[in-house]
Amino acid sequence: MNAVNPLPSGERLFISGNEAVARGAWGAGCKVMAAYPGTPATEILEYASRLPEMYSEWSVNEKVSLEICIGASLAGSRALCAMKHVGMNVASDALMTQTLIGVGGGLVIAIADDVGLSSSQNEQDSRFWGRFAHVPVLEPSDAQEAYDLTRFAFDLSEQFDTPVILRMTTRICHVKGVVGTSERRPFNSGVGFKKDPARLVMIPTNAKHRIPLMYQREERLQQYSEGSDLNFFKEGSDKRVGFVTSGPVFMHIQEAYPEAPILKLGMSYPVPMEKIREFASQVEQLVVAEEVEPILEGEIKAAGIQALGKEILPRIGELAPQVLRPAIGRLLGEAPPQEEPAPPRRALADLPEVKVPLPAPGSNLFPRPPTMCVACPHLGIYYCLSKIRNKAISGDIGCYTLGAGHPWNALDTTICMGASMGVAHGLDKGRTDVDKNQKIIAVIGDSTFMHMGMQGLLDITYNKGNVTILLLDNRAVGMTGGQDNPGSGRDIHGEESPRVNFVKLCEALGVKPERIHEVNPYELPTMFKALREEVKVNDTSVIITNQPCVLVDFYAAKPPLRVEDDKCTGCKNCLDVGCPAIYVTRRETVIKPNGKEKELAFVRIESSACTGCNLCPATCGPDAIIPVENFIRQ
Amino acid sequence: MSESKITNILVAGIGGQGVMTAAEVLAQTALAQGYDVKKTEVAGMAQRGGVVTSHVRFGAKVLSPAIPPGEVDILVGFEPAESLRWCTHLRADGVAMVSTTRQEPPVVSLGLFDYPEDPVAQMREAKINMHAFDAGAIAQSLGNFRLVNTVMLGAISEYLPFPPEVLKNVILERFRQRKPKLVAVNEQAFEAGRLAQAEN
């Protein structure tokens, strides 16, 4: 990741939307920032942690991060929490009552929707939260707006006594652009925590009084939105189609249709419906281009304004120019672009109906999905799991989710953070006679466990369940880039922090001491033994693996290995480990004595990639894998 | 170059090859030349053997950050199969700079998919303008595989709308700031890349 220099304000920087949010919050005098890592929002707190005069932390989950920011806000300081879209699901319990309470210092919730699913279990449209919680939603359309709107969000929050949602997408978070910044304004409200139980203690009698206030606030925000220049018309000479849009789609539309009139919503909730009505009267057809759900479209139609939306545009993925052009082209009754004689590859890119004799180059290319790293400590775990019979493996979210792929195919479910625990317990208690002897195994990482798995484990022990749990402690929040957590022993600044003892934690949560094992996942025989024994026991067991993620600094590479060609029998056992440093040199088909065909694959190890974790030698019958002599790592 | 022209560069490869660094250097160079620049980034998946791409767009004003298919001016392909994967996104008069160092993913090693026999030949058959050479071998011959992204940047320098020296100086200045001992070898790598483009 690029080094961050806290340059003096007033500079033009080339930064991503995430960094722009961090700098914008800092520029507005934000004092507290908290988050749990999650693509595409992770970098917001990473950048924030390097900025001075701010408290920033990795929280154990998004609900706690929002609660911390609520506390900071009520204490009289500005606070921002950041999360990916599913993180908001976790934090929503806090938001739904916080909206009744209001704020002290400004409270901003940055939610990053992973539109396009770069790394998520689903797509969600976080603009719904604005409606559900009756709070305003601001949407930047590039990094500059991410900066400007973040700064503004705190002012809006205090002016209207409301939390404010800053809604971003992957295309904002992970795109770097030129951003002009301004001087930092320290925030000194001059007030501290105001004791006001009627407002802050939400028992029914108090809450009942707050609900009408929340609705009145929403009406005032509605008026504000109608008059705000965050919602503006971009003039266009081609009146055949006018677009109502927000977020990065604003840029895509301008790219695809430079002459189109656009109503751009920077404050997309509450909806400035009269502005939309005025705009609709100026164009022939109104198209609502929104990512991803037809939220605005439904509201516009309910207001009696004719519009098109998801009848012509998709409900999944990005509305990039190459998605907009065909859809709008069809709407306008335009013929598909005429083809001059051009190489087949262009024809297929634009006109799927045109028959071309040759397939486009690269059209049947192999996929290259993400996979576990060379020497990943999870490789051995999944190798073992793949060898166990009659099992169901309840999985969770992290690098270890990749165990569902080839060659291991050893993960059966992944739903949401911590679900591995509850789902495993449910698979056991709900089992039918068909699965009488099925072993139930759950796999969860350390960060996921501390996020929401602990509660599930407590449920299992309290209700006397029978699940074998693999707790993969690699001392990092791996998939998002190796951030620190309460298991790594370091805080967000890299300073020493109390480190969770998972053995004691599991014991405290009710697992019997003799059912808890700490295992080095590179030692396959020990791993196998522990697994095989514990799945036979009718009780809850936890097998904790204790080797660090290879991408964090706790990991130390060892001298690499290589394959002795003449000893390799092509048995492919080592390939079942799934390490990307093992390559096939040649394949052969032989006939076995019983007449059946057998596929052999002879292998080599890429020494420049291998870090000598010693997993594959344990799988090699002929002992063909040996250390490389005199190796010097570059 | 007309005022409304945007230069679109697609950098593609696999995690660990320096795709993001190359894209960042290009973006910084364009910025220094006074252009508006947008650059897309990939997080997380890059380090897990997956495909890594970065779109770098620069011009008077850049709107959408993603290069629409068919509008890529320069494809910087760090790996031949990945170059093949993205070559259909090139303009008719675009150019592909392809490093021929193959890297097979586990799904190929496992026999689930085949690695195309000759991705470069497939691209030539499809009339892609291209230069193909083993940038990895050039880097190794200079002593460090990680020089491959400087080699690739040298190779495309002729196609940029500013003199090659501009890009070279940005690269060398980065090393002057962070790792001065590597300035000389990166200059060699850049020039080797230029030579490779001229000769292939």
What CATH number is attached to the domain comprising A24?
3.40.50.970
Residue A389: CB atoms within 10 A of its CB come to: 8
A634 within a domain of the structure (yes/no):
no
What CATH number is attached to the domain comprising A611?
3.30.70
Check whether residue A316 and residue A289 sit in a common domain. Answer: yes
Check whether residue A172 and residue A285 sit in a common domain. Answer: no
Q: Do B37 and A402 touch (CB under 8 A)?
A: no
CA atoms within 13 A of residue A148's CA, in its CB half-sphere: 13
Task: Please write the tens of the pLDDT for every residue from A617-631.
Answer: 999 999 999 999 887
Residue among A156, A157, A145, A173 nearest A83 (CA): A173
Domain count of the fold of chain A: 4
Check whether residue A219 and residue A235 sit in a common domain. Answer: no
A410 within a domain of the structure (yes/no):
yes
Q: Mean pLDDT in each 10-residue stretch from start to end of chain A (634 residues)?
A: 46 94 98 97 97 97 98 98 97 98 97 92 96 98 98 98 98 97 92 96 97 98 98 97 98 97 98 98 98 98 98 96 96 70 42 55 87 94 94 96 94 97 98 96 98 98 98 93 94 96 98 98 95 96 96 91 96 95 94 93 93 95 93 72
Between CA A414 and CA A384 the distance in angstroms is: 19
Residues of chain A neighbouring B113 (CB-CB closer than 8 A): 366-367
Residue A490's pLDDT is 96
Check whether residue A565 and residue A441 sit in a common domain. Answer: no
Q: What tokens does A115 get?
A: 């539109």
Dihedral over Cα of B180, B182, B130, B21: its sign: negative
Check whether residue A278 and residue A391 sit in a common domain. Answer: no
Residue A337's pLDDT is 61
Q: What tokens does A272 get?
A: 């400035």
A446 within a domain of the structure (yes/no):
yes
A310 within a domain of the structure (yes/no):
yes
A28 within a domain of the structure (yes/no):
yes
Q: Do A14 and B27 touch (CB under 8 A)?
A: yes
A448 within a domain of the structure (yes/no):
yes
Least CB–CB distance from A345: residue in B49, B109, B126:
B126
Check whether residue A315 and residue A384 sit in a common domain. Answer: no
Q: What tokens does A132 get?
A: 């559900």
ipTM of this complex > 0.90? yes
Residues of chain B neighbouring A2 (CB-CB closer than 8 A): 24
Check whether residue A295 and residue A390 sit in a common domain. Answer: no
Residue B1's pLDDT is 38
Q: Do B92 and A318 touch (CB under 8 A)?
A: no
Residue A334's pLDDT is 86
A350 within a domain of the structure (yes/no):
no
Q: Look-up: residue for tokens 């947008």?
A: B38
Check whether residue A209 and residue A307 sit in a common domain. Answer: no
Between CA A378 and CA A545 the distance in angstroms is: 9
- For chain B, list residues with pLDDT below 70: 1-4, 43-47
Q: What Cα–Cα distance (Å) separates residue B23 from each residue in A1, A159, A451? A: 13, 42, 35
Q: Is the pTM of this model over 0.90?
A: yes
Length of chain A: 634
Check whether residue A507 and residue A585 sit in a common domain. Answer: no
Check whether residue A382 and residue A320 sit in a common domain. Answer: no
Range of the domain at A591: 561-627
What CATH number is attached to the domain comprising A275?
3.40.50.920
Q: Write the DSSP string, A484-508.
A: --TTTTB-TTS-B-----HHHHHHH
* Domains of chain B, CATH where assigned: 7-141 (3.40.920.10)
Residue A630's pLDDT is 82
Check whether residue A237 and residue A314 sit in a common domain. Answer: yes
Please confirm whether the linkage preceding A270 is cis (ω < 30° from 0): yes
Check whether residue A184 and residue A115 sit in a common domain. Answer: yes
Contact partners, residue A523, CB within 8 Å, separation at least 6: A380
DSSP A359: P
A322 to chain B, any CB pair closer than 8 A? The answer is yes
Decide: residue A260, CB within 10 A, 0-12 exposed, 13-18 middle, 19+ buried.
buried
Task: Please write the tens of the pLDDT for every residue from B91-144.
Answer: 999 999 999 999 999 889 888 999 999 999 999 999 999 999 999 999 999 999
| Distance between B195 CA and the closest CA of chain A, angstroms | 25
Residue B80's pLDDT is 97
Q: Is B45 within 8 Å of B15 (Cβ atoms)?
A: yes
Domain boundary among A302, A331, A360: A331
A350-359: buried (b, 16+ CB within 10 Å) or exposed (e) per residue?
A: beeeeeeeee
Between CA A451 and CA A446 the distance in angstroms is: 9
Q: Residue type at A516?
A: I
Q: Write the DSSP string, A18-71.
A: HHHHHHHHHHTT--EEEE---TTTHHHHHHHTTSSS-EEEE-SSHHHHHHHHHH
A370 within a domain of the structure (yes/no):
no
Residue A208: CB atoms within 10 A of its CB come to: 11
Chain A contacts in chain B segment 156-195 (CB below 8 A) = none
